[in-house]
């Protein structure tokens, strides 16, 4: 019988994945490889590389214990070819294997590399997701607009999660209107579960420090889960301590709290340590047991079976060109304060600071602080995309790109969002306590202390008047602007231009 190679990538660390299920321990060899190509196609946050390498090494040990023949390449292996395809060829030569079985990678870059590899690679559908490509396409086909909400309802029906027969639990599909409470005075959660680095993790941290220590991002302290057992404990910890308030404060932000009631599970789910199905099952069980309210359970499950699956569906359906879209023709360069240079904007400074320290910011910080700012300021979406892909622990193009290019920057022309996610300082002030600590004044609409979000909001609207004036969800804002005195309008727009000029020149803004 011919022997085959089973490829397991760094974000496919789950024993149930298709390639392992299709493999045969008696004749096949599993290939796992830490390679320079994957570690440097963008300059990832060092915490992300450490998480992936540590989790890969521990997963490889588990597979060996299960009886698999496994060839593992460490990053500093002197014989490494430095790429996934190169390592497959090397291992094929060593073992005499004539075929590779792979689980389809998450990113076009690697799907294409495997398709073009000079040995046959069978790519099986990635079952770490809940919707197949065919299911997403069947849902999307022929629809005028691809709004997430309708896809989500299909997914509720398919998974049976929070269903009461054919109806949604509680008589409603979506409890989002209950999930917009502003920042609470105090946080009762105890933050994400932390793990002390074991020997494997400690060795990886040294390697990453030596090779990637100069990239943006702080490597230590490192307290992430790096195997399935730990990730499951982190899930249980979240369900007990944070989930009950997750819904209420999902959109809130606090100057002195980086995590509020968020789960911090995205990285574990995205690399396979947790299966989305088990995460949702744990949340549903807590609801059924009466431990968490419906708005929390529904809100959380919607993020996973709705948004997460939908984003992946859009990425795959739109193809490799998607990341290059620039529907609003934004050309400005990303300013230095996204890389930690000083800014007077407290909200942006805090979001970037915690991103550097934790490789994490929660959804509303990503969408309504850094994303909102980049969109209002007219930053080139390619730059914004590159930034998000570099700095977050959970960043993989299949989920990062639709969130950035589509949801946050409206660069896909409105496939994902029906209107751009832009707001003035007012929204940030309502949902956070940042403005209290800021050098700018959120109540000032013009003048030297005016909140830049206020100025840039109107200049964005004016710049794109032709495109958005007829949008029924934006018409009211145009009417508000048009009711202002003409002098005032001119002042706002001139001050916005001046502020952007100063930002472009690298002045402290
Ligand atoms: P929680 O708030 O606890 O949410 C629970 C889970 O729901 C998450 O773990 C995640 O798996 C899922 N989820 C929630 N929102 C989304 C969403 N919009 N898309 C996909 N899954 C979602 N998520 C990533 O996993 N990787 C990214 O690179 C990424 N980039 C983003 C960029 C921008 C501009 C925006 C606006 C959002 C981005 N997101 C990304 C989505 C979301 O912000 C993160 O999934 C979330 O902040 C992760 O933290 P958490 O685990 O504490 O999430
Ligand atoms: C993100 C990442 C990194 C940093 N390093 C590796 C690696 O060395 N080996 C590997 O198999 N996978 C790695 N990954 C994850 C891949 O980049 C990921 O599989 C593709 O981007 C497809 O989602
Ligand atoms: Fe951000 Fe404006 Fe508030 Fe300052 S005043 S924190 S810049 S929204």
Distance from the alpha carbon of residue 11 to the mean position of ligand 2, in angstroms: 6
440 alpha carbon, closest ligand: 3
Render pLDDT for 392-406 as a digit per residue (tens, 0 to 9). Answer: 999 999 999 999 999
Query: Average pLDDT for residues 441-451, to the nearest whole number?
Result: 98
Q: Could you give the strand order of the β-sheet that contains 29-33, starting from the edge strand earlier in sequence? A: 69-73, 29-33, 4-7, 99-103, 121-124
Render pLDDT for 342-372 as a digit per residue (tens, 0 to 9). Answer: 999 999 999 999 999 999 999 999 999 999 9
Given a cut of 90, whether residue 8 has pLDDT beyond it is yes
- Which residue from 8, 11, 103 has its CB within 8 A of the most atoms of ligand 2, so it is best to mutate? 11
The torsion angle over the Cα atoms of residues 237, 241, 242 and 248, rounded to 10 degrees, is 160
Pairwise CA distance, residues 91 & 100, whole Å: 10
Render pLDDT for 275-294 as a digit per residue (tens, 0 to 9). Answer: 999 999 999 999 999 999 99
Pairwise CA distance, residues 335 & 352, whole Å: 12
410 alpha carbon, closest ligand: 1
* Cβ atoms of residues 426 and 442 within 8 Å: yes
Render pLDDT for 156-181 as a digit per residue (tens, 0 to 9). Answer: 999 999 999 999 999 999 998 888 88
Render pLDDT for 193-203 as a digit per residue (tens, 0 to 9). Answer: 999 999 999 99
Pairwise CA distance, residues 10 & 271, whole Å: 7
The residues lining ligand 3, judged by C-beta closer than 6 Å to any ligand atom, are 345-347, 425, 428-429, 434-435, 438, 440, 442, 451-453
Distance from the alpha carbon of residue 274 to the mean position of ligand 1, in angstroms: 15
Ligand 2 site, residue 193, Cβ cutoff 6 A: no
Given a cut of 80, whether residue 185 has pLDDT beyond it is no
For the four alpha carbons of 217, 219, 224 and 225, in that order, the dihedral sign comes to positive
Ligand 3 closest atom vs CA 429: 3
Pairwise CA distance, residues 369 & 453, whole Å: 9
Given a cut of 90, whether residue 82 has pLDDT beyond it is yes
* Cβ atoms of residues 116 and 88 within 8 Å: no
Distance from the alpha carbon of residue 168 to the mean position of ligand 1, in angstroms: 24
Ligand 2 closest atom vs CA 106: 23
The gap between the terminal CA atoms of the chain, to the nearest Å, is: 67
* Cβ atoms of residues 388 and 395 within 8 Å: yes
Query: Average pLDDT for residues 428-435, to the nearest whole number?
Result: 96
Ligand 2 site, residue 106, Cβ cutoff 6 A: yes
* Strand intervals (E) in 92-244: 99-103, 121-124, 163-164, 167-168
Nearest CA to ligand 2 atom 15: 10
Percent of the chain with pLDDT over 70: 100
- Could you tell me where the DSSP H helices lie in 242-293? 243-246, 266-270, 276-288
Q: Which of 429, 236, 405, 275 is nearest to 346 (CA)?
A: 429
pLDDT at 1 (0 to 100): 76
Nearest CA to ligand 1 atom 8: 266
Structure tokens at 62: 């588990």
Ligand 2 site, residue 11, Cβ cutoff 6 A: yes
């Amino acid at each position: 019988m011919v022997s085959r190679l089973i490829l397991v990538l760094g974000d496919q660390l789950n024993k149930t994945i298709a390639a392992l299920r299709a493999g045969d321990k008696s004749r096949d060899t599993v290939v796992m490889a830490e390679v320079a190509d994957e570690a440097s196609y963008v300059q990832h946050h060092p915490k992300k590389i450490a998480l992936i390498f540590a989790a890969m090494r521990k997963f490889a040990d588990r597979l060996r214990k299960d009886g698999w023949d496994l060839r593992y390449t460490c990053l500093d292996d002197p014989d490494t070819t430095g790429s996934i395809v190169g390592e497959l060829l090397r291992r094929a030569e060593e073992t005499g294997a004539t075929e590779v079985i792979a689980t389809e990678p998450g990113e076009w870059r690697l799907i294409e590399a495997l398709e073009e590899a000079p040995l046959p690679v069978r790519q099986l559908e990635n079952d770490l997701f809940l919707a197949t490509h065919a299911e997403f396409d069947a849902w999307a086909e022929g629809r005028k607009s691809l709004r997430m909400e309708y896809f989500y309802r299909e997914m509720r029906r398919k998974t049976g999660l929070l269903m009461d027969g054919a109806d949604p639990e509680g008589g409603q599909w979506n409890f989002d209107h209950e999930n917009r409470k502003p920042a609470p005075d105090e946080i009762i959660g105890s933050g994400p579960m932390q793990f002390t680095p074991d020997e494997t993790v400690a060795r990886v941290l040294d390697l990453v420090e030596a090779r990637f220590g100069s990239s943006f991002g702080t490597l230590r302290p490192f307290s992430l889960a790096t195997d399935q057992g730990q990730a499951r404990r982190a899930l249980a910890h979240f369900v007990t301590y944070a989930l009950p308030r997750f819904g209420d404060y999902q959109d809130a932000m606090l100057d002195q709290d980086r995590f509020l009631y968020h789960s911090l599970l995205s990285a574990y789910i995205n690399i396979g340590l947790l299966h989305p199905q088990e995460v949702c099952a744990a949340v549903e069980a807590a609801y059924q047991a009466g431990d968490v309210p419906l708005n929390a359970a529904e809100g959380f499950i919607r993020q996973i079976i709705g948004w997460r699956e939908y984003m992946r569906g859009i990425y795959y359906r739109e193809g490799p060109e998607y990341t290059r879209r620039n529907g609003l023709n934004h050309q400005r360069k990303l300013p230095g304060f996204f890389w930690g240079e000083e800014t007077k904007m407290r909200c942006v400074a805090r979001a970037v600071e915690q991103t550097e320290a934790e490789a994490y910011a929660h959804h509303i910080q990503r969408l309504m602080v850094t994303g909102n700012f980049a969109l209002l300021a007219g930053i080139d979406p390619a730059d914004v995309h590159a930034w998000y892909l570099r700095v977050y622990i959970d960043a993989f193009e299949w989920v990062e790109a639709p969130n950035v290019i589509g949801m946050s920057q409206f660069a896909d022309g409105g496939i994902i969002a029906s209107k751009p996610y832009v707001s003035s300082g007012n929204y940030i002030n309502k949902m956070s306590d940042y403005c209290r600590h800021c050098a700018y004044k959120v109540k000032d609409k013009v003048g030297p202390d005016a909140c830049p979000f206020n100025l840039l909001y109107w200049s964005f609207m004016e710049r794109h008047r032709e495109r958005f004036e007829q949008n029924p969800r934006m018409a009211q804002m145009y009417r508000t602007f048009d009711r202002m005195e003409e002098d005032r309008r001119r002042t706002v727009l001139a001050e916005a231009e001046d502020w952007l000029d100063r930002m472009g020149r690298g002045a402290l803004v």
